[in-house]
Amino acid sequence: MVLPGLKQGSDLEAQKPTQEIRKSFPETWIWDLIPVGKSGSVKVEKMVPDTVTKWAVGAFCTSQAGFKVAPKTDLIAFKPFFVSLTLPYSVIYEEMFTLKATVFNYLPKCIMVKVSLANSLHFTAQSCKGCTYTQCVCSEKSQTFQWIVTASELGKVNITVRAEAVQSLGLCGNKVVTLPDKGRVDTVTQSVLVQMPSKIKRH
């Protein structure tokens, strides 16, 4: 299966503005039925979702002559610097839960990362000096940051975390901090379902 229009990695980052927010994280992707026509071939162009992951790609074709399955292949959507959120699918209204944000650095050198949780009217976070962290993350390493959050509204509540590589004269251990030429900012929005607690039946 040939998908010539797919952009990934640094090519995708170069095309996006620095304030782009990643918020499309489907569990599955591309379920299209596409007519091939008499030529026997067709080109399909798709934009990769915001998930940093490996996709398993497969295709099949049917015609009057029969049915054929294409060999499976993999497609890797990758960013050298990104943040990933870990949060539950659902939480209870006005109960505390832990939000974790992990920053991954696959750049060749150490960077100083500023990580912040966006303010919202739909939840509150325990005081954490503005809920902004600044810390070194060296090459091929990751760092996890966390906040204690209480949801104050029912339904789907969006949570946005921003990670930015910033200028620093300090050292990461004994290593000099660098500032990447591009891809310095990664902002992620994911939602959590806020529900009322289940009623307890008493006899």
Instruction: Give the pLDDT band (50/70/90) at residue 92.
Output: very high
Q: Stretch 185-198: mean pLDDT, rounded?
A: 92
Number of domains in the chain: 2
Token pair for residue 130?
Answer: 């503005």
- Same domain for 168 and 116, yes or no, is yes
Stated pTM of the model: 0.74
Token pair for residue 34?
Answer: 């596409």
- Of 29, 47, 77, the residue that ends a domain is 77
**pLDDT of 10:** 41
Please give the Cα distance from 172 to 175 (Å, whole number): 5
**pLDDT of 199:** 58
**pLDDT of 110:** 94
- Same domain for 49 and 101, yes or no, is no
- Of 62, 77, 92, the residue that ends a domain is 77
113 burial (CB, 10 Å; 0-12 / 13-18 / 19+) is buried
Structural domain including 67 reads: 9-77
For the segment 41-91, what is each residue's pLDDT rounded down to a tens digit? Answer: 888 888 888 888 889 988 888 888 888 898 998 988 888 899 999 999 999
- Same domain for 39 and 93, yes or no, is no
